[in-house]
Amino acid sequence: MCGIFAYCSFLCEKERKYVCDVLCNGLARLEYRGYDSAGIGIDGDEPGSPMILFKEVGKVAALRKHIAEAVAYPPPSDEPRHATNGNSTKIDMNKVFLSQTSMAHTRWATHGVPSPLNCHPHVSDALTEFSLVHNGIITNYKELKVVLLKRGYTFHTDTDTEAVAVLCKYVWDSQPAKRLNFTELVKTVIKELEGSFAFVFKSVHFPDEIVAARRGSPLLIGVKTDRKLKVDFVDVELPTNEDRVNDADANALLAVPSAVSDGRSAVGPKLRRSQSRAFLSEDGMPQPIEFFVASDASAVIEHTKRVLYLEDDDIAHIAEGELHIHRLRRDDTVSSVRAIEHLEIELAEIMKGQYDHFMQKEIYEQPESVVNTMRGRVNFDTRAVMLGGLKAYLPVIRRGRRLLFVACGTSYHSCIAARPVFEELTDIPVAVELASDFLDRRTPVFRDDVAIFVSQSGETADTILAMRYCLERGALCLGVVNAVGSTLSRETHSGVHINAGPEIGVASTKAYTSQYVALVMIAVQLSDDSILKTARRQQIIDGLHDVPAQIRKVLAMDKALQQLAKDMLAKEKSLLIMGRGYQYATCLEGALKIKEVSYMHSEGILAGELKHGPLALIDEHLPVIFIMTRDSLYPKVQSALAQVTARKGRPIIICNEDDDNVPHNAKVIRVPQTVDCLQGLINVIPLQLLSYHLAIMNGVDVDFPRNLAKSVTTE
């Protein structure tokens, strides 16, 4: 979804042009999230002067071009604009700031069409008294707009975000004699909001300060300084009993809590410096420091590897070279410190390198990514699997009445792929649920259920809500995620990181195979107390050993698959993919990849259901891909293939290398044979490559398919 990036420098001389470059580079790192417009907001020439805005529909490259012209986008105003330049202003890009705060945003339209007016940052008025960038959806924005319109405030955009900016101004205007500090003002505003969000706020009333807040959408803060931090954490200021009494008394709509009056911006009770002891110098003097606020670590990695992740209802205040973290409300289950962690990823990992697209890079990285998922966990000499995160919970999981997998999209397909392995090795009933449908049905969950939540980003909104639903009902909740420090990894009881490396392309190719491997490893470890399953476990572990080399072998067929796509599929409008058993998930995942990156209609069909409707679609014009690798259901898939060929269907058959039973006139894709439950890892690679080549042939930007976002952080 939307991408947030903010940059704060203190006692560091920076030209305005450098600040703009930092912001645009940060946005470029967030492009994979999907967006349709981009914008930045930077300081004016004087402290307290209106923010300078640059906004553009399209890619970050278009925004860079707009900034290079040094003509700012005018803030929304009720005044008529000059026809010549729309009140745009020529900007001095060489001005130097000793300290500055700035923000940037990539927008994925949810309220209002993509346009410069609807693009972030959004401001409260023409003087940009309050400005902000936002990821998420405010569900009660219409009610807020009605209240604010009745109080005389005006709106210029179609977005939900503008209501929050105007609400900030209303709270400020409501207390002319009792000014709130920036943190308290933001707290007051957030208490009126419903929905999920991550915000960065800026105000001309509080120069060189920003406030960041989150609920449901990810947000992290990177710290860059030449000196070593005194401690590797930041203390959290919890609300006092007096704060909670004030909250309880605030019955009026948009009520403003009491504040100290001193003629300027009072700070209530002065913030204790012990809160930011990590940033204290030995002599107590201020030190140069830079902060980077972002939706994703990929945006800050080129600047620093020291980051801290905000929790839901955290409010971070950055001012005078210090970071203070407050809580919207007291919650004794949440830690009272936020650890400053060290990022393990490298800048090169999020660059395309020798490849033309991120999707292509990630397809070709899969031999390494599945090895990374297994590294340190699978001992091929002793044929044993050890997942340290699950070790303490194994007895509880084995006693569970049901294994409940909850996921969305590609992650859901990896759960479908692993379901038969869990049923076979654990003898525990398994249910696989789409997170959104699971929540819609208010599915019954019991204390002896084991719920496993699978998500590449760990920030998928529906999956997080489903997890919290299960936590409330006492189920053991486990996470299978790629992103360390994500909401799912922090809020579940335990889990497994898939260690697939950064996923930049929207297609999530690495995520599928690494999740698949991780789930199979969980099933193998759960069964290691069963002597009857020993031979099967050893067979699977031996198969895992060979998977990386087998994936490389399929990748070597890339040119042949490109030609196949050109000859048989490029001009088609629709495609069916059929299989059954372990390969049903492969059909679903292959169809999803083809439709999302090439825009061709494709459908994954269980071959056993062919006679229950899909057979009516078969004719000489419709291409059908059959996944017919050898396993116990091979004869049944052969029968389905015969039905298709009898009706003049045009099958493309994915089969094993030594299979001589396929029709001689059929187009075939031959892949190495492995253990039946792992064969899907090999079979999905040709489908990924076909989807990539079809997209390129159709002129599609595979890394930024239309209407899609990498990390879906709204319901």
SS3 track for 15-60: EHHHHHHHHHHHHHHCHHHCCCEEEEEECCCCCCCCCEEEEEECCH
Q: Which residues contact 626 (CB under 8 A, 6 or more apart)?
A: 578, 579, 607, 637, 640, 641, 644, 651, 652, 653, 654
Per-residue confidence band for 86, with pLDDT thresholds at 50, 70 and 90: very low
Per-residue pLDDT averaged across 627-634, rounded?
A: 94
Comparing 227-241, 376-390, 445-459, 527-541, which segment has the lowest mean pLDDT?
227-241
Given the residues 2, 168, 587, 655, the one annotated as active site: 2
Give the per-residue pLDDT at 529.
92
Let me know the angle formed at the C-alpha of 135 by 488 and 463, rounded to the nearest 5 degrees: 25
Mean pLDDT of the chain: 87
Give the per-residue pLDDT at 189.
95
Is 20 a catalytic site residue?
Answer: no
> DSSP H helical segments within 445-582, as ranges?
461-472, 487-491, 509-526, 534-555, 558-564
Per-residue confidence band for 269, with pLDDT thresholds at 50, 70 and 90: very low
What percentage of the chain carries pLDDT values higher than 70?
Answer: 87
Please give the Cα distance from 447 to 6 (Å, whole number): 42
| Chain Cα centroid distance, residue 181 | 32
Give the H or E element holding residue 420.
helix 409-426
State the pTM of this model. Answer: 0.71
Angle between helix axes 409-426 and 584-598 (nearest 10 degrees) is 170
CB 153 within 8 A of CB 169: yes
CB 354 within 8 A of CB 531: no
Query: 36-53: b or e for each residue (b if 16 or more CB lie within 10 Å)?
Result: bbbbbbbbbeeeeebbbb
Please give the Cα distance from 687 to 690 (Å, whole number): 5
Per-residue confidence band for 389, with pLDDT thresholds at 50, 70 and 90: confident
Per-residue confidence band for 297, with pLDDT thresholds at 50, 70 and 90: confident
Phi, psi (deg, nearest 5) at residue 176: -65, -30
Please give the Cα distance from 88 to 82 (Å, whole number): 9
Residue pLDDT, tens place only, 299-328 = 998 999 999 999 889 999 999 999 999 998
275, pLDDT greater than 50: no
CB 257 within 8 A of CB 250: yes
Give the per-residue pLDDT at 417.
97
Per-residue confidence band for 261, with pLDDT thresholds at 50, 70 and 90: very low
Give the per-residue pLDDT at 507.
61
Place of tokens 């107590």: 284
- Altogether, the residues listed in the chain come to a count of 715
Per-residue pLDDT averaged across 396-406, rounded?
A: 96
The tokens for 58 are 């399209």
577, pLDDT greater than 60: yes
Identify which of 588, 509, 487 has the alpha carbon closest to the alpha carbon of residue 555: 509
Give the per-residue pLDDT at 65.
92
Q: Which amino acid is at 234?
A: V
Residue pLDDT, tens place only, 204-254 = 999 999 999 998 888 999 999 988 877 888 888 877 655 554 554 444 455
Per-residue pLDDT averaged across 102-107, rounded?
A: 94
Please give the Cα distance from 36 to 60 (Å, whole number): 9
Give the per-residue pLDDT at 245.
46
Q: Which CA distances in Å does 657 have to 213, 508, 580, 646, 674? A: 55, 27, 19, 25, 11
Q: Which amino acid is at 78?
A: D
CB 66 within 8 A of CB 104: no
Identify which of 250, 208, 155 has the alpha carbon closest to the alpha carbon of residue 9: 208
Q: Which residues contact 379 (CB under 8 A, 6 or more apart)?
A: 385, 386
Give the per-residue pLDDT at 175.
84
Per-residue pLDDT averaged across 424-447, rounded?
A: 96
Please give the Cα distance from 320 to 209 (Å, whole number): 8
Give the H or E element holding residue 326.
strand 322-327
> DSSP H helical segments within 213-316, as ranges?
241-249
Identify which of 123, 220, 107, 214 has the alpha carbon closest to the alpha carbon of residue 164: 123
87, pLDDT greater than 60: no
The tokens for 293 are 């606020």
Query: 569-606: b or e for each residue (b if 16 or more CB lie within 10 Å)?
Result: beeeeebbbbbbbbbbbbbbbbbbbbbbbbbbebbbbb
Please give the Cα distance from 221 to 213 (Å, whole number): 11
> DSSP H helical segments within 449-533, as ranges?
461-472, 487-491, 509-526
| Chain Cα centroid distance, residue 33 | 7
Per-residue confidence band for 347, with pLDDT thresholds at 50, 70 and 90: low
Q: Which residues contact 142 (CB under 8 A, 6 or more apart)?
A: none
Identify which of 544, 692, 683, 571 has the alpha carbon closest to the alpha carbon of residue 626: 683
Q: Please measure the distance between the N-terminal and C-terminal CA atoms of the chain and give it in whole angstroms.
A: 11
Residue pLDDT, tens place only, 163-194 = 999 999 999 999 887 788 999 999 999 999 98
Please give the Cα distance from 570 to 339 (Å, whole number): 51
Question: Widest CA span of the chain, in angstroms?
Answer: 88
The arrangement of strands across the sheet holding 130-138 comes to 122-123, 130-138, 195-203, 209-215, 314-319, 322-327, 233-237, 337-339
CB 647 within 8 A of CB 621: no
